[in-house]
């Protein structure tokens, strides 16, 4: 199972408490720890977290700097936890616009956990699904026949994925908004969408379990029509 989460609401959480937005991001990082642990315990195969979108560069420079400082510190901490629980860590998104120091931390984290066989934790940093799709199309132009698996492999290469990008089964978004915000547009083609008003720092393992329970109730047909079960004892003639 592949679960993707848009972690929305850190700034509003801080604002409602009269705190700087950076305090909301720090609180959100603690929620990341709790949800990663909950997902690993539930046997989730892949967890993708939307940490910093390409559009987030439009935020005030002081907030962007604080976010990248937090991301760097969190990657170092998360790497140790991943090794303890055999979780493979992978950062997806562009790397040409972030600092060399952060790129080195990313590469170290990926290399250190490459042998891990448990859940794959993917963190999206400077990520844009539209950019990834365009780059994959450019790389494959001239190809006479492209199947979906080949395209997904190329999409993964664009985003520095540790393996082929897999379809998302469940997308969770906190914060009350109901849109994808340029996140995993190809991979979410048949994803079940789960939106909730809770701000990300207030999201917890119990609400994560509620999302999984709702997912289990969904009827996923992928465009097919399922025949009703034959009534017991009925037959021809």
pLDDT value of residue 16: 96
pLDDT value of residue 148: 80
Residues of the chain below pLDDT 70: 144, 164, 222-223, 225-237
Buried b (16+ CB within 10 A) or exposed e, 136-165: beeeeeeeeeeeeeebbbbbbebbbbeeeb
pLDDT value of residue 234: 46
Tens digits of residue pLDDT in 47-61: 999 999 999 999 999
| Half-sphere exposure for 89 (CA within 13 Å, toward CB) | 23
Q: Is 204 a catalytic residue?
A: no
- CATH class, 2-128+168-217 region: alpha beta
pLDDT value of residue 237: 41
Catalytic choice (8, 126, 159, 169): 8
* Cα–Cα dist 7/33, whole Å: 13
pLDDT value of residue 146: 76
**0.95 exceeded by pTM:** no
Q: Is 8 a catalytic residue?
A: yes
Catalytic choice (10, 56, 197, 204): 56
The closest alpha carbon to 35, from 51, 23, 19, 49, belongs to 49
Strands (E), the chain: 2-6, 46-53, 88-92, 120-127, 170-173, 192-195
Tens digits of residue pLDDT in 153-204: 888 888 888 776 789 999 999 999 999 999 999 999 999 999 999 999 999 9
CB-based contact 47:119 (threshold 8 Å): yes
**C-alpha triplet 182, 170, 127: angle, nearest 5°:** 25
pLDDT value of residue 119: 96
The helix or strand, by DSSP H or E, that contains position 130, with its residue range, turns out to be helix 129-140
pLDDT value of residue 194: 98
């Amino acid at each position: 199972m592949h679960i993707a989460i848009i972690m929305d609401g850190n700034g509003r959480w801080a604002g409602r408490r009269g705190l700087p937005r950076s305090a909301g991001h720090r609180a959100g990082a603690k929620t990341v720890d709790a949800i990663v642990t909950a997902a690993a315990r539930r046997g989730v195969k892949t967890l993708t977290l939307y940490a910093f979108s390409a559009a987030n560069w439009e935020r005030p420079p002081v907030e962007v700097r604080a976010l990248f400082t937090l991301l760097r510190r969190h990657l170092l901490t998360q790497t140790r936890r991943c090794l303890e629980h055999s979780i493979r860590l992978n950062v997806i998104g562009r790397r040409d616009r972030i600092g060399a120091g952060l790129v080195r931390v990313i590469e170290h984290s990926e290399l250190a956990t490459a042998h891990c066989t448990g859940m794959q934790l993917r963190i999206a940093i400077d990520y844009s699904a539209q950019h990834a799709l365009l780059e994959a199309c450019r790389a494959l132009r001239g190809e006479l026949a492209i199947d979906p698996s080949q395209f997904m492999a190329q999409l993964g290469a664009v985003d520095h994925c540790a393996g082929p990008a897999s379809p998302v089964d469940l997308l969770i978004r906190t914060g009350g908004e109901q849109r994808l915000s340029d996140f995993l547009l190809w991979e979410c083609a048949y994803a079940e969408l789960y939106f909730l008003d809770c701000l990300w720092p207030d999201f917890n393992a119990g609400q994560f379990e509620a999302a999984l329970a709702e997912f289990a109730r969904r009827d996923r047909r992928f465009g097919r029509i399922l025949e009703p079960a034959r009534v017991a004892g009925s037959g021809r003639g």
